[in-house]
Structure 1
Amino acid sequence: MSLLLAVSLFFKMLSVPLLGRIAWLDFTTQKISNRDVLMLLCLGLGSLQLMSVQAGSWWDMGLSAIAALLLFVVLFPLWALRKLGAGDVKLMAIIPFVIGGPGLAFFSILLLLFALATAAVIKYPFMLPEGAFRVYVQHLDRKGVVPFGVPISLAAICTIVLLLTNSVYAHV
């Protein structure tokens, strides 16, 4: 395994706890900080840059940039209509840089599943066991807030873990 690939994989590994932090903070405070999004963007761009140099092709970087721009353009009106938070839009716009082109399809499928599960839990909190978590979810439902940073982060973490295991097994 080359040094460029190892550092790229290390950057991807560093983004996993940061995504976990984003998910937790979005769940507890309904806020995604710009600092966390920028750190995630820097880790993703660094990883993509190293992978592009290693592969000798900028296709993955270009595909990620196009996907990020498309996501931002599509989701920005939803923010303007107050259907999504600004942090959710920014997080979704940088995820293609964190994941890279090969993982976007898998990420999209996982995001759909996790978003549906999150919406179901928020809409029907009576399915949850009694306790503080259920009370908090009922509070979110009364406020009309859905922390979409949680399914975005979970889908990204699962995709990164899959990409890391595939890369390690392919280069061992």
Structure 2
Amino acid sequence: MLLAASLLLKALAIPLLVRIAWIDFTTQKISNQNVLLLLCLGLGSLQLLSVAAGSWWDMGLSALAGLLLFVVLFPFWALRKVGGGDVKLMAVMPFLIGGSGLAVYSILLLLFAIATAAVIKFPFMLPEGAFRVYAQHLDRKGVVPYGVPISVAAICSIAFQVYGSVMLASSSGILQQLN
């Protein structure tokens, strides 16, 4: 039951991540209240998992990873290479994803960030239309909305976690016992 509640909290974060990605794409802003809400959902999910597992290892690993990401990315914000919202969003992601999902999240983030940077830097690869014009506009401004790949990687990681949990529950017979 605690695992299901934890997965529900993570699933509730998906619409918020979509909202963050859209707002960052259109306005290049990530609000503190959205990041704080993600942090609360992530902490709640991690706490439920920790109680179910009887170990606080995942929560400690997530806290350490979040702190490390904030400390490492803060100088890039100070040099104006990345936005403050992106730094805060990245620092919250380990709490939302959990320590066990950070490897998958990191790989997905790398792939999506490279794709986003390529689209912004080489908008001529896109078909004609409004999206291409907007990508050219972002390139002229010199900004890359990194909240988009951060959010998409988190959504995919959460989807993998939910899928893995459902597969584990169905293979162990838990779902048949509930019916």
Aligning the two structures, in what range does the TM-score lie when normalised by the shorter sequence? over 0.9
What's the secondary structure of 1:147's corresponding residue? coil
> What's the offset of the Cα at 1:170?
1.0
- Larger Cα Rg: Structure 1 or Structure 2? 2
The residue aligned with 1:81 is 79
Moved over 3 A (4+): none
The residue aligned with 1:42 is 40
Cα distance between partner residues in 1 of 2:115 and 2:19 = 20
The residue aligned with 1:10 is 8
What's the secondary structure of 1:171's corresponding residue? helix
Q: 1:127 aligns with which of 125, 128, 131?
A: 125
Q: Name stretches of at least 5 consecutive residues in structure 1 with no aligned partner.
A: none
- 1:93 equivalenced with 2:91 (yes/no): yes
Q: Name stretches of at least 5 consecutive residues in structure 2 with no aligned partner.
A: 171-179
Alignment of 1:62-77 (within 5 A): 62-77=60-75
The residue aligned with 2:164 is 166
The residue aligned with 1:115 is 113
Cα distance between partner residues in 2 of 1:156 and 1:138 = 26
The residue aligned with 2:175 is none
> What's the offset of the Cα at 1:154?
0.5
Number of equivalenced pairs: 170
Cα distance between partner residues in 2 of 1:168 and 1:15 = 18
The residue aligned with 1:51 is 49
> What's the offset of the Cα at 1:66?
0.4
Q: TM-score, normalization: structure 1? A: 0.98
Q: TM-score, normalization: structure 2? A: 0.94
Q: 1:136 aligns with which of 109, 134, 137?
A: 134
> What's the offset of the Cα at 1:71?
0.2
Structure with the bigger RCO (C-alpha within 8 Å, sep 6+) is 1
Identity over aligned residues, as a percent?
Answer: 76
> What's the offset of the Cα at 1:132?
0.5
